[in-house]
Chains A and B, each alone.
Chain A
Amino acid sequence: MLNYSIKRFVYMLITIWVIITLTFFLMHMIPGDPFTSEKKVPPQIRQNMLAKYHLDKPLIVQYGYYLDNLMHGDLGISLKYLNRTVDDIIKQSAPASFQLGVQSIFLGVVFGLFFGIVAALKRGGGWDYFSMFLAIIGISVPNFIIATLLQLLLASKLKLLPVSGWGSFKYTILPSIALSFATLSIISRMMRTSMLDVIGQDYIKTAKAKGLSQLQIIWKHMVRNAIMPVVTVLGPLFAGIVTGTFVIEQIFSIPGLGKFFVQSIYDEDYSMILGTTIFYSIILVVMMFVVDIAYGLIDPRVRLAKGGK
């Protein structure tokens, strides 16, 4: 297990390095630079600005500077929010995105599993159709429409919750619900399919024959076997959501990280583009690692197979 972990860790570092390198050279291929503006400045001023941020050096030297700073845990200064470091911006913005992401994943997973399981058990019944209806809405209606509808109904008309903003728990309710729909849909459909596979298996008949209670059969034999595919998608899904979502954060005016992923590219804010990319990659590879460990915990066969190698 330890060997395996070390190996995985090294792979993770290599993956992140490849991502950094690709991003670094790709973003420099976008026409223009962080200081491109419609109001031209005298060449000397431009030179001063480029020099201050080492942008006057050859690309490969800049790359060297960047990696060197990164080794020391320094993501650099934002080229749009002058005087603020990328570390600070991520540290200040990530918590809001994280809270929102975790809450919406929680809602999505709990209700997704519930609807998936019930739909499979009551296949062809009212619950099945209801869960299918929910899933179709969740997948085909973009979350910004759900968000706007929630805002209009619960905040503007009924005045139960604030329209937008961030601060206390009540501000998080609408965005969490709006964001959870997609997760809910994916998980409920996946869980239903996977449950139907399991229901037809011989060991379920055996369990029934043994006289186990319905609940025990569902929990110990069906869900535990059916949940593997769900766990697989949950890793990347989690990484994607907790690092911030552009649209929902914009609609509810949430001070999260989501906008930086999009805006930094428009601004050609090089250090911010790299900072967000690295942050996301780290969360993503860590989540994949966590998923691998979770496999072992849920299914002892996986543990055995890996141990045997």
Chain B
Amino acid sequence: MKGHKKIVIIGLVLLMALSAVLTGCGGSATNSASNSGNDKQVLNLNLVQEPSTLDPQKATDVVSIDILTEVLDGLTRYDKNGKIEPGSGLAKSWDISKDGLTYTFHLRDAKWSDGNPITAQDFEYAWKRALDPKTASQYAYQLFYIKGAEEYNAGKGTADQVAVKALDDKTLQVTLKAPTPQFLGLTSFVTYLPLEKSVYEKYGDKIGTDPDKLVYSGPFVISQWNHEQSITLKKNKDYWDSSSVKLQTVNFTMIKDNNTLVQNYDSGTLDSIFVPGDYIDKYKSSSEYSDKALATNWYIQFNTKNPVFKNADIRKAFTLAIDRKSFVEQVTKDGSIPAEAVVPPGIPGYNGDFRKEAGEAYFKDNDVLQAKELLKKGMSELGISKLPTITLLGDDTDNAKKYDQALQQMWSQNLGVNVQIQNVAFKVRIDMMDKGNYDMVFAGWGADYNDPLTFLDMWETNNGNNTAFYSNPQYDKLIDEAKVNGDLKARNDELIQAEKILMDDMPIGPVYFQARQFVVKPYVKDLYFPTFGSDWEFKWAYIQNN
């Protein structure tokens, strides 16, 4: 299968090269489509819902990111293999200073969809706009690695003190506060996408509310946007790499109902969908079906200020008493992976997969005997003979309720503990967690960037996301060092040690690494599903033999 794809790609490259020679390098954009025969190069996908905003500096939700990453190129762009390479985005190359602090990006010659050249000033402008307190961008902190950025956003510095500068039209220089290995990857993220100054000045806060109120630098442009209904993308003729783009049109619907979604896939209106949980059995044996692990972990988070869960042995008892294997096989049934560690597989370590480097498991799954012993030990440490009523907090979706009940049953069976369940709306759950109004909660975390740190730094003392109120000075020290360590091998070891401490103290009990399931029609080729960030990458996708 893979070999077959390779042949197709090589063939296409040869054909494209030939056509470029024949047409004198200019008009290869339109010719590339004909490479795939007479197939209409149209892809139909479901966006589920309306993007919150297509203002790149304000977007935070996955739906907005789905669209923005296809219509705007940043300095870098993840390639087909999920790697950042020089030239995969608008920067054709970059130099990094020896201390790892100063990045100098050299921009390629590229044009906005309105015909104006894309300049280093467009990046400087966009990044400073994201940091401007008046923009009130939620993701401004994604730029806080840059020197002077946090101060400007907090109103304690000026825009000129932010260390991002266009040296000339094609050179952008950035100075960071500390060495940040994930910085190159971050420059592909929405908050870092460029914006043409004159366009922003024309539309102000209306930017990105309609197709004509944005200019594009990516593989596609938005040609139509019927709010709450559909979005249509067309190939961007001015895109610097337009010869790689074969699709002429991408149609997005916004279907929320699962049954409607499945019927649209079956009737051929949609070419690929994410399979809703209840329909996995329907497709599982089909050749169109695949599942893929996401960079997302789910865990039981214990409130370490709680009179019972302040005891580490009791936290461990509850974690060990979960039968993860049955949980993913009989409850989630979606290809999720049992988790006996914090960082999901697929996140890079020093020289490969972090999960492999740190070891797959820190404890044994479904270790009932050990769990019972730990519970007994913990209770005697606390000087209690009976546990008070314990409540598990969770979301009020159908799936969450099902999962919570399965856990409840496992604790009852394996530990003999009766756990109550409280299901509330998502924002209410988050608010209760922030305020510490819970005993334990079933929660998940998705990667912000492709590095183990995104799953580990949140458990530092007083981190806003540390709603388990966990605190271990040794752990804080390791994370603080890893954040600024330019020696990547040593940094990786620090992160591994930190994860081990976290699993010794167990403020969170890992349950599973989330997978997602999708079906793709056989005539759709080279449609990629990244592990984090956007739902799809279809820059290279094409239709064959439909």
Binding site for B on A (CB under 8 A): 30-32, 35-45, 48-49, 51-53, 80-84, 88-89, 92-93, 148, 151-152, 155-156, 159, 163-166, 250-253, 255-256, 259, 266-268
Contacts and interface: CB of A to CB of B under 8 A. Distances in A.
Interface residues of B, number: 56
Contacts of A40: 434, 463-465
B399 interface: no
Contacts of A166: 229
Given A83-B58, A163-B269, A251-B260, A38 B443 contact: yes
Given A81-B52, A89-B227, 10 more contacts: A35-B138, A41-B141, A41-B464, A42-B141, A45-B153, A83-B55, A83-B207, A83-B209, A253-B256, A266-B425
B278 to A, nearest CB: 13
B260 A252 contact: yes
A92 B228 contact: yes
Q: Closest 6 interchain pairs by CB?
A: A40-B464, A255-B228, A32-B431, A255-B229, A52-B136, A31-B431
Instruction: Give chain A's interface secondary structure class.
Output: loop
21 contacts: A31-B428, A32-B428, A36-B431, A40-B434, A41-B138, A41-B464, A42-B150, A44-B153, A45-B141, A48-B153, A82-B53, A82-B55, A83-B55, A93-B228, A164-B255, A164-B264, A250-B257, A251-B260, A255-B226, A259-B228, A266-B427
A51 B136 contact: yes
B402 interface: no
B205 interface: yes
Contacts of B451: none
A44 B136 CA distance: 10
Contacts of B257: 164, 250-251, 253
B344 to A, nearest CB: 16
A44 B253 contact: no
B132 to A, nearest CB: 9
B44 to A, nearest CB: 12
Contacts of B52: 80-82
Contacts of B150: 42, 44
A253 B427 contact: no
Contacts of B264: 163-164
Nearest to A81: B52
Contacts of A30: 427-428
A251 B259 contact: yes
B426 A266 contact: yes
B535 interface: no
Residue among B60, B227, B448 with the highest chain A CB neighbour number at 10 A: B227
Interface of B: 50, 52-53, 55, 58, 60, 133-141, 144, 150, 153-155, 205-209, 226-230, 253-257, 259-260, 263-264, 266-267, 269, 425-428, 430-432, 434, 443, 445, 448, 463-465
A39 B209 contact: no
Contacts of A255: 226-229, 254
A43 B462 CA distance: 12
A152 B228 contact: no
A163 B260 CA distance: 7
Contacts of A151: 259-260, 263
A235 B315 CA distance: 58
Nearest to A45: B140
Nearest to A84: B209
Contacts of B58: 82-83
Contact of A45 (B138, B227, B260): B138
Nearest to B269: A163
B68 to A, nearest CB: 13
Nearest to A44: B154
B423 to A, nearest CB: 14
B208 A83 contact: yes
A35 B140 CA distance: 14
B227 A250 contact: no
B47 to A, nearest CB: 11
A268 B427 contact: yes
Contacts of A44: 133, 150, 153-155
A132 B445 CA distance: 53
Contact of A83 (B53, B60, B263): B53
B140 to A, nearest CB: 5
B491 to A, nearest CB: 23
A272 B56 CA distance: 22
Contacts of B153: 44-45, 48
A48 B133 contact: yes
Nearest to A78: B52
A29 B144 CA distance: 33
B260 A164 contact: yes
Nearest to A77: B205
B354 to A, nearest CB: 21
Contacts of B144: 42
Contacts of B55: 82-83
A178 to B, nearest CB: 12
A40 B254 CA distance: 28
Contacts of A42: 141, 144, 150, 464
Contacts of A250: 256-257
In this complex, the member of B253, B257, B269 whose beta carbon has the largest number of chain A beta carbons within 10 angstroms is B257
A164 B264 CA distance: 8
A293 to B, nearest CB: 34
Given A31-B432, A92-B227, A38 B154 contact: no
Contacts of B463: 40
A38 B448 CA distance: 12
A253 B255 contact: yes
A52 B430 contact: no
A255 B465 CA distance: 35
A50 to B, nearest CB: 8
Contacts of B206: 83
Contacts of B207: 83
A156 B263 contact: yes
Contacts of A43: 464
Nearest to A50: B136
